[in-house]
C-alpha cells in the first residue's frame, strides 16, 4: 500500500519535533558505553522535522502489528515494583509471554531483555549514575541482519532451528505510571516507510557490535501515539519480522515532546521488554 493511499483525515493530532538521521558519508555508529577521553560517543547528527503525530484512540481497533507494525492492548499487570528487576523477571516476563502467545498465536516466546526508563531533565541517556532516558532519535532496535543474529546469540543451535520458521522481535512497552503526558512514544506506520529510509548503524558494546536502523526523513512518513496512555495499556512494537510477504517488518519509533503536556506533568517512567516470538 502506498503512503498516499493511507487516510488520516479527521484524526486528532499534535505537532511534534522528530529527530532523524542527518545525511552522512560514513556508516553511523553509537557507543553503548562511556568512551575514552577524546572519543565521541557517536558520529551521527540529527536533523529535526516537525510532523503531525496522530492519536490512535479513534482507530485503535483497526491497528495491527502486521499492517502498521504496532498495536495497543489493554493489559493489567500484577507487578508491584517495576524497578525491582527480579520481580519483573519473575512476574512480568510470564505475563508478557502469555499475552504474546495468546495474541499472536506464537509457538514460543522468549524474553531476552528489558529496560526501565525514567526521564531526568537535562540528563543524557546512559549518563553515569542516572536511569536510562527516553530515546529521542528515530530508530528501529534491530535490522534484518541483527534480529536473527540475536536469536543465535541467545539460543544457539536451538535458535538456528527456530529460525527455519517465522521469527518476530516484538517490544512490549508500557508506562509505569499513568496517564502518561510527558515524552510519549511515537511510532511510524510501517506502510509509509521505504526500505531506503532505514540505514544500518553500528551499536557498539564493549564485547560485541550490534546493528540498528537509523532513519532518514521521508515526507510520506505518518506518525502515531497514544494520548494519556495508561499503566494498564501496552503497546506492541515490531522491531523485526523474518516474514517478507508484504506485511510490516520494521516500525520506526522515538520519544517526542508533546506540546500539549501540562507544565506540572510528572516525568515519564516506562518499561519495555524485548522478545523473540516464534511461529
Read off the C-alpha cell for 27.
556508516
**Domain assignment of residue 13, given as a range:** 3-278
Q: How does pLDDT run along the chain (279 residues), one tens digit per residue? A: 333 334 577 899 999 999 999 999 999 999 988 888 889 999 999 999 999 999 999 999 999 999 999 999 999 999 999 999 999 999 999 999 999 999 999 999 999 999 999 999 988 888 888 899 999 999 999 999 999 999 999 999 999 999 999 999 999 999 999 999 999 999 999 999 999 999 999 999 999 999 999 999 999 999 999 999 999 999 999 999 999 999 999 999 999 999 999 999 999 999 999 999 999
Q: pLDDT tens-digit profile of 134-180?
A: 999 999 999 999 999 999 999 999 999 999 999 999 999 999 999 99
Q: List, in sequence order, the alpha helices (H) in 135-198.
A: 146-162
List C-alpha distances in Å: 145 to 15, 99, 194, 260, 261.
Answer: 33, 27, 17, 38, 38
Chain centre distance of CA 89: 20
224 within 8 A of 16, measured Cβ to Cβ: no
14 within 8 A of 53, measured Cβ to Cβ: yes
What total number of domains does the chain contain? 1
Task: Kindly report the number of other CB atoms within 10 A of residue 254's CB atom.
Answer: 22
Strands 46-55 vs 13-21: parallel, antiparallel or unpaired: antiparallel
Amino acid at each position: 500500500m502506498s503512503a498516499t493511499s493511507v487516510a488520516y483525515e479527521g484524526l486528532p493530532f499534535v505537532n511534534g519535533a522528530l529527530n532523524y538521521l542527518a545525511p552522512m558519508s560514513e556508516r553511523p555508529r553509537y557507543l553503548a558505553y562511556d568512551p575514552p577521553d577524546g572519543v565521541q560517543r557517536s558520529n551521527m547528527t540529527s536533523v529535526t522535522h516537525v510532523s503531525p503525530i496522530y492519536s490512535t484512540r479513534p482507530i485503535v481497533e483497526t491497528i495491527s502489528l502486521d499492517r502498521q507494525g504496532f498495536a495497543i492492548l489493554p493489559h493489567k499487570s500484577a507487578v508491584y515494583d517495576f524497578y525491582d528487576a527480579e520481580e519483573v523477571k519473575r512476574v512480568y516476563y510470564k505475563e508478557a509471554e502469555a499475552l504474546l502467545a495468546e495474541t499472536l498465536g506464537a509457538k514460543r516466546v522468549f524474553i531476552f531483555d528489558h529496560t526501565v526508563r525514567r526521564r531526568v531533565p537535562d540528563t543524557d541517556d546512559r549518563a553515569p549514575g542516572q536511569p536510562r532516558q527516553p530515546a529521542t532519535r528515530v530508530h528501529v532496535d534491530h535490522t534484518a541482519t541483527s534480529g536473527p543474529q540475536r536469536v543465535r546469540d541467545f539460543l544457539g543451535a536451538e535458535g538456528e532451528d527456530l529460525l527455519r520458521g517465522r521469527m518476530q522481535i516484538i517490544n512490549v512497552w508500557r508506562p509505569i505510571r499513568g496517564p502518561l503526558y510527558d515524552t510519549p512514544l511515537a511510532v511510524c506506520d510501517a506502510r509509509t516507510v521505504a526500505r531506503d529510509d532505514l540505514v544500518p548503524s553500528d551499536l557498539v558494546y564493549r564485547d560485541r557490535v550490534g546493528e540498528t536502523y537509523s532513519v532518514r526523513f521521508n515526507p510520506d512518513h505518518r506518525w502515531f501515539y497514544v494520548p494519556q496512555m495508561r499503566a494498564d495499556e501496552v503497546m506492541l512494537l515490531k522491531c523485526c519480522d523474518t516474514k517478507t510477504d508484504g506485511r510490516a517488518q520494521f516500525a520506526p519509533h522515538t520519544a517526542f515532546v508533546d506540546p500539549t503536556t501540562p507544565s506540572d506533568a510528572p516525568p515519564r517512567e516506562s518499561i519495555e521488554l524485548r522478545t523473540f516470538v516464534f511461529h
